[in-house]
A and B are shown apart, each in its own frame.
Chain A
Amino acid sequence: MSEPGLSARGLRVEFGLPGGRTARAVDSVNIRVAPGEVVALAGESGCGKTTLARALLGLERPTAGAISYDGTPLRYSTRALKAYRRSVQLVLQDPTGALNPRHTVYDAVAEGLRIHRIADNESDRVATALSHAGLRPAEKFFLAYPHELSGGQRQRVVIAGALVLDPKIIIADEPVASLDASVRGEILALLLRLRDEFGLGALVVTHDLGLAWSIADRIAVMYLGRIVEQGPAEQVLTDPQHPYTRALVSVLPDSPVPGPIVLSGEPPDATSIPAGCRFHPRCQVLASGAAEAAGVADQCRATPLPVLADDVGAGVSGDDPTRQVACHYAAAATRSEA
């Protein structure tokens, strides 16, 4: 296996809108999640991170690009998707909506087994998954309905439903955003425990860099359909290079970036992506004139940036994990240092 885990190459997802316009929700993304690694995908709402997550699960057909799992490209036949979904599972934001209100906890967790026709030891498997998700004693929860559980317990049921198929990768879309602060820590601790004990890989989609800080090995920051900066969580968050990442980091408590940087304006919509650097209309470095001083202002406005490669998550295989930034100004700064 050349590339263990889940990877996407040149992934594009476009939606046709009324009036013949096209929204490019995901615009050429390379990303990889290795087993035993937690990758956080961060960005504002509307930047395409949920669409990317759905595409990685095969729920959305990409317009271009390819997704592969353990080096095998994903095909979209019913059978191939079904097989793929044994390995890659989903955890959604709102556990109340993610569970069928008329199914008991047992049915909810056992559904995956029934879909994939795993008939032996069904109740043992369900009990194991529930206790791995922290619901113990598992048997006590079998006949409960979602409305009888707390929010945290519901999310544990959703996670158990994903775990029961022994997946290698979990894609979690804002897994704690709808939970109470007191329960968030528990669910995040659970994800980390699953990574350590079972070597589970996870892609955690979040708008909250603080959350990414606490659980992620690597962070990918997404802006308007493209990843603008990625690297080991520690490095990205203590020394952010991209102006957008700097702005996001600057509002965290104890931020290494001085002063809160407030970005002007809403993110532009995905139907009209700005030329040059897609962030330039809101970029505080360009606005302050620093880019002009470094002599890259014209590039910012006109020259498209290369798509970041995905070969950064090599921490598992022992290589030096590298940083990548898609920014003319950061590139110029690196050049002048060298």
Chain B
Amino acid sequence: MASDPSLLAGPSPDGPASGGLSGEKTAGGSGFGRYLRGRLTGSVASLVLVYLSSFFIFRVLGGDPLQAIAKDRRMTPEERAALREQLGLDQPLLAQFGKYTADVFSGNFGTSYQYRRPVMELVLERLSATVLLTGTALVLSVAVGLWVGARAGWRHGSRLDRAHVGVSLTLWSAPTFWLGMIVIMIFARQFGLFPVGGMVSHNVGPGLLAETLDVAHHLVLPAITMTAVIYAQYVLVMRSSILDEIGHDYLTTARAKGLRDDLVRRRHAIPNALLPTVTLVFLQLGGVISGAIVTETIFSWPGLGRMVFESIGFRDFPVLQTTFVLFSAAVIVANMCADIAYWFLDPRVRKA
């Protein structure tokens, strides 16, 4: 073997390459700026598209809000024309869009047709209820899903693995409304353990503690229903992600250095397997705002999802537009946060 004698004695045999290394390091700072700019541009473009479609999509949907507002009441043509003018619906579509845009930029999201109140007020009122329900369900499903997925993947093919995947997939494929009704029938009707729906009781005693407990009591069934339906995605993503890592030699290296098997899993396999789940969690984080329309409807939960459901039937354009933009913006922002988080979590992204 023709080995260069200078290699045996010489310092820094990979000198030139290590010189390049320090160069990369200094370029790291401006790299993040460029990365961030790229993500921001993409997000802003998506937001503009969402804004445009938010206005037109509900108008294309068809249906006349006046019919819903009038309900059974008979209206004279004059009354109809007056109402139409009052709501601005007599203007051409482009003029309506111009007014909508001007209003939005001045912070006015319009007035709901059905509630006759500013949309922003309605949204803010219901936001906390939705965030409470879907936030709880998200935290539960992420925690349960990742834990179960990591264990199932680590012992893939075992009975535990098959049982967990089977159960989570069954729940995932069960329709939410059906599962919700079964849960209500068993735990609320049959055993009377939890309230059938709503978020607060009317006859609750005064005091912060009593009120909190009351809300928590109402929260149990919808949160569990929602968790049961969505936790399967975390199980499956985490499981396959762990399976990807299991084949890697660095786990063998760690074992050969004397690390115990469960520590190999916790220190090496799980942190690396978590990366793909970050995207999923952040996407769902965006969904926390939009909530679960079906779950909220079944459990009469006073959140945004139920308001949207009712507004669709009513053709309540201002509410629909605003919530559409809000929900989409939440997902876009959450996705951008995921990209930014990746920069810090995965050193390989910094290279790209």
Chain B residues whose CB sits within 8 angstroms of the CB of A82 once the complex forms: 258, 260
Which of A86, A140, A152, A214 lies at the interface centre, i.e. has the most chain B CB atoms within 10 A of its CB? A140
**Residue A158 interfacial (CB < 8 Å):** yes
Which of A111, A147, A149, A188 lies at the interface centre, i.e. has the most chain B CB atoms within 10 A of its CB? A111
**Residue A228 interfacial (CB < 8 Å):** no
**Residue A189 interfacial (CB < 8 Å):** yes
How many inter-chain residue pairs (CB < 8 Å) link A and B?
A: 120
- A100 near B256 with CB under 8 A, answer no
Question: C-beta contact mask, B323-352 vs A, less than 8 Å → 1, else 0?
Answer: 000000000000000000000011110010
Residues 1 to 42 of chain B near chain A (Cβ within 8 Å): 1-4, 7-8, 11-14, 17-18, 21-22, 24-25
The one of A86, A135, A145 in contact with B258, judged by C-beta atoms closer than 8 angstroms, is A86
A186–B347 alpha-carbon span in the complex (Å) = 28
- B3 near A186 with CB under 8 A, answer yes
Which among B57-65, B85-93, B179-187, B244-252 touches the partner chain? B244-252
A82–B261 alpha-carbon span in the complex (Å) = 11
Quote the shortest CB–CB distance from B99 to chain A (angstroms).
Answer: 52
Chain B residues whose CB sits within 8 angstroms of the CB of A161 once the complex forms: 253, 257
Chain B residues whose CB sits within 8 angstroms of the CB of A188 once the complex forms: 1, 3
- B258 near A116 with CB under 8 A, answer yes
Chain A residues whose CB sits within 8 angstroms of the CB of B17 once the complex forms: 149-150, 153
A136–B1 alpha-carbon span in the complex (Å) = 24
- B272 near A100 with CB under 8 A, answer yes
**Residue A8 interfacial (CB < 8 Å):** no
Quote the shortest CB–CB distance from B225 to chain A (angstroms).
Answer: 36
- B13 near A134 with CB under 8 A, answer yes
Q: Which residue of A has the minimal Cβ distance to B18?
A: A140
**Residue A30 interfacial (CB < 8 Å):** no
**Residue B254 interfacial (CB < 8 Å):** yes
Residues 37 to 95 of chain A near chain B (Cβ within 8 Å): 57, 59, 78, 81-82, 85-86, 89-90, 92-94
Quote the shortest CB–CB distance from B26 to chain A (angstroms).
Answer: 12
Measured as residues with beta carbon below 8 angstroms from the partner, the interface class of chain A is 35 or more
- B257 near A111 with CB under 8 A, answer yes
Which of A134, A156, A213, A214 lies at the interface centre, i.e. has the most chain B CB atoms within 10 A of its CB? A134
- A140 near B256 with CB under 8 A, answer no
Quote the shortest CB–CB distance from A166 to chain B (angstroms).
Answer: 13
- B256 near A94 with CB under 8 A, answer no
Q: Which residue of B has the minimal Cβ distance to A131?
A: B11
Question: C-beta contact mask, B227-268 vs A, less than 8 Å → 1, else 0?
Answer: 000000000000000000000111011111111100000001
- B252 near A59 with CB under 8 A, answer yes
The one of B248, B260, B351 in contact with A148, judged by C-beta atoms closer than 8 angstroms, is B351
Chain B residues whose CB sits within 8 angstroms of the CB of A330 once the complex forms: none
Chain B residues whose CB sits within 8 angstroms of the CB of A275 once the complex forms: none
Chain B residues whose CB sits within 8 angstroms of the CB of A112 once the complex forms: 257-258
Residues 196 to 210 of chain B near chain A (Cβ within 8 Å): none
**Residue A185 interfacial (CB < 8 Å):** yes
Residues 114 to 166 of chain A near chain B (Cβ within 8 Å): 115-116, 131, 134-137, 140-141, 143-145, 147-150, 152-153, 156, 158, 161, 165
Chain A residues whose CB sits within 8 angstroms of the CB of B18 once the complex forms: 135, 140-141, 153
Quote the shortest CB–CB distance from B266 to chain A (angstroms).
Answer: 13
Chain A residues whose CB sits within 8 angstroms of the CB of B253 once the complex forms: 90, 92, 98-99, 158, 161
The one of A85, A145, A211 in contact with B256, judged by C-beta atoms closer than 8 angstroms, is A85
- With contacts A111-B257, A140-B22, A149-B21 taken as known, whether A99 is within 8 angstroms of B14 at the C-beta atoms is no
Quote the shortest CB–CB distance from A56 to chain B (angstroms).
Answer: 11
Q: Which residue of A has the minimal Cβ distance to B250?
A: A100
Quote the shortest CB–CB distance from B176 to chain A (angstroms).
Answer: 37
Quote the shortest CB–CB distance from B6 to chain A (angstroms).
Answer: 10
Q: What is the interface of chain B, defined by CB distance below 8 A to chain A?
A: 1-4, 7-8, 11-14, 17-18, 21-22, 24-25, 248-250, 252-260, 268, 271-272, 345-348, 351
Q: What is the interface of chain A, defined by CB distance below 8 A to chain B?
A: 57, 59, 78, 81-82, 85-86, 89-90, 92-94, 97-102, 111-112, 115-116, 131, 134-137, 140-141, 143-145, 147-150, 152-153, 156, 158, 161, 165, 185-186, 188-190, 192-193, 211, 213-215
25 of the cross-chain contacts (CB-CB < 8 Å) are A59-B255, A78-B260, A85-B258, A89-B256, A90-B256, A92-B252, A93-B249, A97-B249, A97-B250, A98-B250, A98-B253, A101-B346, A101-B348, A102-B271, A116-B258, A136-B11, A136-B12, A144-B25, A153-B14, A161-B257, A165-B257, A186-B4, A189-B1, A189-B7, A211-B1
Q: Given known contacts A90-B252, A101-B250, A102-B347, what 16 new A-B pairs fall within 8 Å (CB)? A: A86-B258, A89-B256, A90-B256, A92-B252, A97-B248, A98-B250, A100-B250, A102-B271, A115-B257, A116-B258, A143-B25, A144-B21, A161-B253, A185-B1, A185-B4, A186-B3
Going nearest first, the 4 A-B pairs with the smallest beta carbon separation are A214-B1, A90-B256, A97-B249, A85-B258
